[in-house]
Amino acid sequence: MAKLISGLFLVLVLSYLSERVDGKPTSSRKTLEDVDRKLKLLNKPAVKSIKSEDGDIIDCVDIHKQPAFDHPALKNHTIQLKPSFDLPQENLTTKNEQVYQIWQRSGSCPEGTVPIRRIRREDLLRAASLDDFGRKPPQIFSASNRTDQKHSRFVYFNNTEHSLGPIENRSAAILVTLGYNYIGAKGDINIWNPSVEKEGEFTTAQIWLKGGPGDDFESMESGWVVNPTLYGDRQTRFFAYWTTDAYKKTGCFDLTCSGFVQTSPKYALGAAFPNISGWFGPQYYLPVGIYMDPQSSNWWLKIGNTNISIGYWPAESLMYYLKHSATLVEWGGQVYSPNVKKTPHTKTAMGSGDFAAGLGGSACFIMNARIIDFSQTMKYPQWVDTWADEVYCYTAYNYVEGYGSFPVFYFGGPGQNPNCP
């Protein structure tokens, strides 16, 4: 009986692979070889492996053998083990700061290695194709005109209107600043676990630093995400992302492609958090910052108010516009789904699942939003504006509690509801 079940399972896997991998029919034998080849490329030899209680396997990989160095532009790259700069300090205290990850309960990686979440065969099976694994789907730009407020995205700075581009397959609620050259940005992101309706959809709370034209921009991003297609569950996970062509063909989440150079032996990209905020209960935060090293032009990803360095994007090798600075910074949330901006709308939630007007204890927020420009000072942006693509589905509100306090940006929503059918 066991042999019969095993045989049936193999037949089902072969059939499934032939339909799913690469998005077109192909021979099962070739498909299995492609999957195994991709797994070997993604999963580097481990010095040590750690089985996490949430089911993840964390491989401790020699820092010099991590996926970054598969990138042609990084073949002879010399690792920068730590940034050459100290960040301007602020007297910020964030209660319930959350940088701890579930896998850390089960072990730690030795110095000289970096923790990398292992990719499994079933992770590749869920992807639309092997080439698309770990990537955000390309943005679909609408042909709508200026009067189509459902798709057009506009913010105002210094009495001037700026378009953020009409996008059909994403819905965002953001705080945005532009008009200067930015060499850093940060924010303390409230951690929640919003519902995701279907595989293929995801929801984030994050920071974006961007440069370049609106339909072909470069971006570095980090925050938390719920993405069942990529990770195989609906846990809230720490992520990093990059692209040099507005998500068309470059970049990826975490270390699922070559590019981001990890230096920390303590924290894993793609790992889950043990503590999640609850409505009118304890609130947990992930302080996230992205900063350019003035000497190397590498963009460092840091977490925590003690500025723990995770690693960096080597902009000199990977980027064109972001070699110099970012020109746009965004804080907030985004839902990806083919069913945004149409009826019936997706039920995938953003933030806590509550609208921004719910404020503290109910709505998700980002506090201590800051930028760094060439003055080398950490400061609240001079000009900001808010934008929500679908105000009946997800909202944005930059709230000032009282005189002399900095704004706190609230965002989110449930997706489909009576006003967003």
Is the pLDDT score of 164 beyond 60?
A: no
Rg (CA), the chain: 21
Where exactly are the structural domains of the chain?
A: 67-88+119-145+160-413
Mean pLDDT confidence for 26-32:
57
Tokens of residue 379, six digits: 């400061």
Tokens of residue 389, six digits: 């693509």
pLDDT of residue 143: 60
pLDDT of residue 141: 73
Mean pLDDT confidence for 148-166:
51
Q: Encode pLDDT of 104-143 as tens digits.
A: 999 999 999 999 999 999 999 999 899 999 999 988 876 6
pLDDT above 90 coverage of the chain, percent: 76
Mean pLDDT confidence for 273-300:
95
Tokens of residue 153, six digits: 């995205």
| Dist. CA 21–CA 175, nearest whole Å | 38
pTM for the model: 0.90
Which conformational region is residue 394 in: left (phi greater than 0), alpha (psi within -120 to 50 degrees), or beta? beta
Q: Residue 376: pLDDT band by 50, 70, 90 thresholds?
A: confident
What per-residue string of b and e applies to 18-50 under the rule 16 or more CB within 10 Å gives b? bebbbeeeeebeebbebbeebbeebbbebeeeb
Q: Which CATH architecture has domain 67-88+119-145+160-413?
A: Sandwich (2.60)
Is the pLDDT score of 46 beyond 80?
A: yes
Is the pLDDT score of 374 beyond 60?
A: yes
Mean pLDDT confidence for 13-29:
46
Average pLDDT, the chain: 89
- Distant-in-sequence, close-in-space partners of 401: CB < 8 Å, separation ≥ 6: 408
pLDDT of residue 402: 83
pLDDT of residue 146: 39
Look at 402 and 304; give whichever has higher pLDDT: 304
Strand, coil or helix: 256:
coil
